[in-house]
Structure 1
């Protein structure tokens, strides 16, 4: 491994210039990022590298609000041609966002601006394609047959954006886009879900909970493909997997757990949650477990109203605290017990 002393020696011998040495040092520091400060066995997570990134994100947000205000004022002057105006504005917006992304993502390699630009690009694509292909009067009458094309094209546009810039957060947006497309198609065929519980309760009317479960399995499979290709969590593939787990976990765990919680099957619920906890420990993804349980707590307090729900939430909190305190030890013991059946060389090492 080349150290800073090696770089100084290379500059002194004339092999590289001082500016080249500074660039190499900056690149190495950016690649290490927050990982260098992690404890062994901790999970890499990085939203921003410094306050300058927050400053840029605020600027992008204000720029987006100004862009929306200008285009809204322009459309109000000629409301008849709103469709062509929105489409043109979306095309110009896409070009501007792409150019800004080239600088902040590919040149500066910033984290927070990359997330903000991914969100803006997704929103811009959805606005443009919806304006071009969707029919507002049909949507107002709960006829969603015009929406799947717009949402599918928006998701594909975001996939192209991800292919160019490889922003991990964009992968989560793509997964959410897939979820939205399937839900809109289901709503067009079976009607709009009347309650939020219909999206997660397998006992509810309609196919929504089953779609949530299947999409969750698909997203989880893609997340595992990224994770298994980078077991030491040193490349952006690991970050792609992180954000996909954030999307997959609520879809998988909540669909099963809330269905059992509704049926007051406490023992089965505990076993299922223990199974998902084992999966999270084996793949070393706290994000998978915390996101899932967070959604369970949020939804159970709104969907259900019983004394048993409070006790279940209390138990979940105790389990999370214990896992957080002894995660590395529990994982080391678990992997040693499952060493013969698991591909340990494809999983993060235990500490």
Structure 2
């Protein structure tokens, strides 16, 4: 680790200028995070680094509200081309957000403000595309044909933003956004969602649950590509994978779990627990706890739906004990699981076991 004495020596020897030394010190400090203090095998997770980032996040939200308010007041009662005005405001907002991102994301490498700016960028872009392409009257009549295009263009804009700034949280927004675009497009072509559960119930008869399942598999595959490119989890690629897993796990488990739970038979309930166990094994192998967090919700759902009051209490008790057991011995369980995998399994592309 380079310290201040090393930097002073580099300046005195002419190896670095004072500005270069200052920039290097800033970069080194920015790269330090709570992940550096994690025990071997622990999964890095960080939403913001210090209260100064929280302060900046609040400032960004207030700035966004002020920007929207000023843009609305400036319009007033003037008779103007609303579409052109909205595009102008959107472009100006995109420029401001981009410049802020250059400072807070690329230069300061802040985590919380980076996620906030990604949200602001996609909301700003999608709002502008909606104002230009969407047909409010048609939407009011239940015709959604004008909705998918602005949604899709907003996601394309976010993808460009991610390409420049590599904000991991943008991956979650992109995954959820493409899920929404696909669902809205399907609905605009005649698909009908009678209940929210139709998005996950394969037996509902519509295409929505199958779309959820397929997109969940695709998102999981992309997440694994990120994870396998950074098995030691030292770069933002693994953080991209983390946020994609957060989206993929509910899509997969909810679809399979709700479909089995809806059959309301002993065999389907047993099958549900088998599926949850499989997902738990997958989570242990790839060293991602997000799958288990989603599975836990379904265990509770099964307990409340299928069992009586005493059964619910017992299930929750066992669940809590299981979580504590996994949390305490996760690495040992994972090490033993990895040992029984076949030799051709690409263990070198997965996080190493530290036991």
TM-score by length of 2: 0.89
- Change beyond 3 A, Cα 1:7–1:71: closer
Tell me how large the CA RMSD over aligned residues is: 2.5
Partner of 1:216: 216
For 1:177 and 1:285, the matched residues in 2 are separated by 23
Residue 276 (structure 2) aligned to one of 261, 273, 278: 273
What SS is found at the alignment partner of 2:44? coil
Partner of 2:38: 38
- Change beyond 3 A, Cα 1:69–1:2: closer
For 1:21 and 1:137, the matched residues in 2 are separated by 59
What CA deviation, in whole Å up to 9, does each residue of 1:33-62 have, x standing for no partner?
222110111001111111111111100000
CA contact (8 A) 2:201 2:258 kept: yes
Structure 1: segments with no counterpart, 5+ residues? none
- Change beyond 3 A, Cα 1:193–1:308: farther
Please, which moves more after superposition, 261-270 or 66-75?
A: 66-75
Please, which moves more after superposition, 308-317 or 265-274?
A: 308-317
Q: CA deviation at 1:218?
A: 0.7
For 2:345 and 2:308, the matched residues in 1 are separated by 35
Q: CA deviation at 1:305?
A: 6.8
For 1:14 and 1:91, the matched residues in 2 are separated by 44
For 1:79 and 1:321, the matched residues in 2 are separated by 63
Please, which moves more after superposition, 263-272 or 275-284?
A: 263-272
- Change beyond 3 A, Cα 1:261–1:341: farther
For 1:318 and 1:75, the matched residues in 2 are separated by 59
For 1:82 and 1:175, the matched residues in 2 are separated by 31
Structure 2: segments with no counterpart, 5+ residues? none
Please, which moves more after superposition, 252-261 or 313-322?
A: 313-322
Partner of 2:307: 308
TM-score by length of 1: 0.90
Q: Check if 1:233 corresponds to 2:233.
A: yes
Please, which moves more after superposition, 100-109 or 306-315?
A: 306-315
CA contact (8 A) 1:250 1:295 kept: no
CA contact (8 A) 2:192 2:206 kept: no
What CA deviation, in whole Å up to 9, does each residue of 1:93-141 have, x standing for no partner?
1111111111111111111110000000011111011111111111111
- Change beyond 3 A, Cα 1:80–1:29: closer
Aligned residues: 347
Structure 2 matches for 1:1-351, cutoff 5 A? Answer: 6-7=6-7, 9-10=9-10, 13=13, 15-16=15-16, 20-75=20-75, 77-78=77-78, 81-264=81-264, 265-290=268-293, 292-293=294-295, 296=298, 300=301, 306-308=305-307, 314=316, 316-338=319-341, 340-351=343-354
